[in-house]
Amino acid sequence: MTITILGVASSMRKNSYGTRALNFVLDMAKRYDDTETRLLNLREIKLPLFDPDGNEEYYSSAELRKASEYANWADAFVLVSPDYHGSMSGVIKNFLDSFWEEFAGKTFGYIVSSHEKGLTVMDQMRTAVRQCYGWSLPYGVSINGELDFNTKGEIINDLLVKRLDMLTHDLITYGRLI
């Protein structure tokens, strides 16, 4: 059974550490049989602000249609957010608000780029996903750019590599089960 994984990057920073870690996970997922991955980088895809009334302009957005296609395609998600004052980025919140129906019964993993542990950010994303009837892995991965990456943007922390590998394995394993 093929499992499809959508990585959602939400940093507005060019070459962000979170997006680099996400690309690492998506590349590791390709090692597994019957796994397909896609990246939805919310820095590049500018979603319109969520409109609960669903006006015609909102639904005619090409970016929204592309993101919707990706969200419907995915069996599992990896959500990545920087830690902005103890909270998730606005664009990841907007993504979660826009596609809640597509998340029901799907598996989610989390990566937070933070100088601290990013626990409140992961808790907020987990809470939003739970409200959408999604299934969350019971842990997430926190990265600290200056400690985990070299100046070329390569991961230098072996423990981070192990955590990202575990996240990838568990996302695929539980994504297939659920």
Closest CA to 92 of 119, 62, 72, 112: 112
For residue range 70-96, list pLDDT tens digits in order. Answer: 999 999 999 999 999 999 999 999 999
Kindly state the DSSP code that residue 60 receives in the 8-state scheme: T
| 3-9 and 76-82 beta bridge pairing | parallel
**pLDDT in single tens digits along all 178 residues of the chain:** 899 999 999 999 998 999 999 999 999 999 999 999 999 999 999 999 998 887 788 888 999 999 999 999 999 999 999 999 999 999 999 999 999 899 999 999 999 999 888 889 999 999 999 999 999 999 999 999 889 999 999 999 999 999 999 999 999 999 999 8
In the numeric block, which tokens belong to residue 161?
């590599």
Whether the CA torsion 21, 112, 82, 9 is positive or negative: it is positive
| Strands (E) located in 70-153 | 76-82, 107-113, 135-136, 141-143
Angle at 36 between CA 178 and CA 109, to 5 degrees: 50
Give the pLDDT confidence score for residue 168 in this predicted structure: 98
Scan for tokens 């990896």, then name that residue. Answer: 78
- Please state the pTM of the whole predicted model: 0.95
